[in-house]
Every structure is written in C-alpha cells, then in structure tokens.
Amino acid sequence: MKRFYYTILICLLGVFVADRAGGYALSVIGEHSNIEFNQKMNTMMHGNNDFLLMGTSRCHHHYVSQMMIDSLGVDLYNAGIKKSGNIYSFYFELCLLLKYHVPKVILLDLYVQDLYPHDTNYLNQFGPYLGIDDEADEFFAQVNEDYPLHQASHLYRHNSHVLAKTLGVFYSNYHDDHGYSPAQAPSGPIKLQVDTTRYTPEQSRVDAIEKFILKCKEKNIKLILSISPELYIRNEHHYDPIVALARKYDLPLIQNQRLLIDSPDYFRDNFHLCHKGAVVFTEKLITQLKPLLKE
C-alpha cells in the first residue's frame, strides 16, 4: 500500500514539475515572440509613452497614431489590442502598465461590450501576465471564472496563441505604426444596422469603468473617454452609464459614434472603420482633443 501511495506522489510531483517547466518554457518563448499581441503589451508596459490610447480592435483600427503625433506634438502609442474584449481587459492592462510607468494622458475607447453582457474569456489571453501585479491578479480572479485553472497550472496560462507565439519567434506579423493598424475596405457594401432596444447594463462592467477612472485619478493621469464611429443606430440611452460616469468625475467624453453614420464606404464592417474612415475620424478627433490637452 505504501508503494502505491509513493507511486501516486511521484506521479503528482512529476506533473507539477512538468507544468512549471512547461510554463517557464512558454514564458521564454513569449518574451522572444514577435506576434502583435506580445509586442503591443510589451510596448504599452515598457515604452514609457506620455499619451496612450487604450481599447480593443476599434481603438487599434480607428486612431491613426502618426496623424495625432504630428498634429498634437505628443509622444503617443496606440495600445489598442484586437480581441481584448472589454473593460475587464483594459483595467487588467492598466494595473500592469502602472507597475512600470505612469503616462500623462490616457484616451480610453469604450464600446457596447464595456457595458452589456459579453464573453469574459477574452481575459484568458492575459494569463501569462499573472503574477506581475497583485491588484491585477485580484481583479482577474474576480471577473474570470477560469482563474483557478490559471492559478493551478502555469501551462494553462499560455493556452492562448501557443502556436502563433512559437512561430512568432521566427517571424513577425507585427508592423509598427505607433500601434495603429489600418483595416482593409470590405469587398462589398456595408448596410446600416438599427437596434433601438434599451438593454440593461451589467453593473460589474460599469463598476470596472469606474475603477479605471479612480485608478487614473489616483495616479494623476488625465483620462479622456471616447466613443468612436460605428455604422449602427442604437437606443438613445445606450451609452447613458458612460455619460453619467463622465459627469460624476468631471471627465471629458468625446462621442463620435454617429459621426460617419451616413458614410458606409468608410467602414470595414458595422463596428470597424477602414483606413480612409479612420483618417477622417482622426482628423475630427484632433480638433476635439486640442482644447482638452491645453487644460
């Protein structure tokens, strides 16, 4: 019987060692991988930029960094990450960022999924960054039901982008234009969508936006909230929680969601601008930002 327990113990120890060794190996691969996700995270945390744009793919494709740098004279990086999901990811990123650097200005691009029920598993791709900041880890645990798996297994933390990260050691799909990436125009026409249903916002998401605001205030970061264009007509109260938070904390909120509503050829799909749409939007945004940055 003792031999049986001894065998079980050896097997468990072997699994533990293999998991930790595999997790370490994937961490090393990740550090040397040139895929877009890794490079954007590394630049955001270690680039020491004074002005950061944060958000998901809409931020990544909508804000033409070089135009903003040239017109505003700022040290800017577009840290928008495709498929990062929602405000939960943004707050996790903010905690990591502040571990290394405090920017002077953050423009946070917000959207539908930052208010209403939406998949939280997007956070799983940030698993490799657990263990860097206690507050980031605590928040991850609160909003992601998979956290116990990330805590138990270091290999599980790397279950996103494994193949891409490994191949990324040998080649790069990341083309740096200060973080901006132009989206291609669609092959066919995009039709305006309409949904005037009044949905109930998820309180935990509204709370996460408020936590983001409070963290910026704590660090004396000038925070600008932004809603960029979409080819979508929604209920007039759809963004009310964001408007309320902006008023509560006296924050600038730039609402451009209907700026290009009559120009479907400026969109890649109903939620993302193609490059020529991004140029038009960025030109408008620059005029809106100039007085705010003088304050």
Structural domains of the chain ordered from first start: 2-294 (3.40.50.1110)
- Say what the pTM is: 0.92
Nearest by Cα to 257 from 286, 285, 229, 288: 229
Kind plus residue range of the DSSP H or E element containing 222: strand 222-227
Alpha carbon distance 279, 169 (integer Å): 33
How do beta strands 105-109 and 51-54 pair? Answer: parallel
Q: For residues 292 and 250, is the Cβ–Cβ distance under 8 A? A: no
Tokens of 5: 């327990």
Secondary structure of residue 234 in the 3-state scheme: strand
Triad 232, 274, 290: Cα angle to 5°: 85
pLDDT at 67: 96
Dihedral (Cα; 254, 198, 62, 101), 10-degree rounding: 70
63 Cβ contact partners less than 8 Å away, ≥ 6 residues apart: 53, 78, 80, 107, 109, 180, 228, 278, 281, 282, 285
Residue 161: other Cβ atoms inside 10 A: 18
Look at residue 164 in the predicted model and tell me its pLDDT. 67
Q: How far is residue 51 CA from its own chain's centroid? A: 15
- Those residues with Cβ within 8 angstroms of residue 203's Cβ, 6 or more apart along the chain or in another chain: none
How much is the pLDDT for 210?
97
Q: Which helix (H) or strand (E) holds 45?
A: helix 36-46
Predicted confidence pLDDT, tens digits, the chain (295 residues): 667 667 777 887 777 777 787 667 777 777 777 788 888 898 999 999 999 999 999 999 999 999 999 999 999 999 999 887 789 999 999 999 999 999 999 999 999 888 887 766 788 888 889 999 999 999 989 988 888 888 878 877 777 666 667 766 666 666 668 999 999 888 788 899 998 888 889 999 999 999 999 999 999 999 999 999 999 999 889 999 999 999 999 999 999 999 999 999 999 999 999 999 999 999 999 999 999 998 7
CB atoms within 10 A of CB 99: 14
Residue in this structure with the two tokens 């083309």, named with its chain if needed: 175
Question: Closest by alpha carbon to 87, among 61, 62, 64, 115?
Answer: 115
pLDDT of residue 251: 97
- Summarize the chain as % helix, strand, coil (round to 5): 55, 10, 35
- For residue 263 the two structure tokens come to 């120009």
Q: What does the DSSP 8-state code read for residue 109?
A: E
The first and second tokens of residue 269, run together, are 């799909």
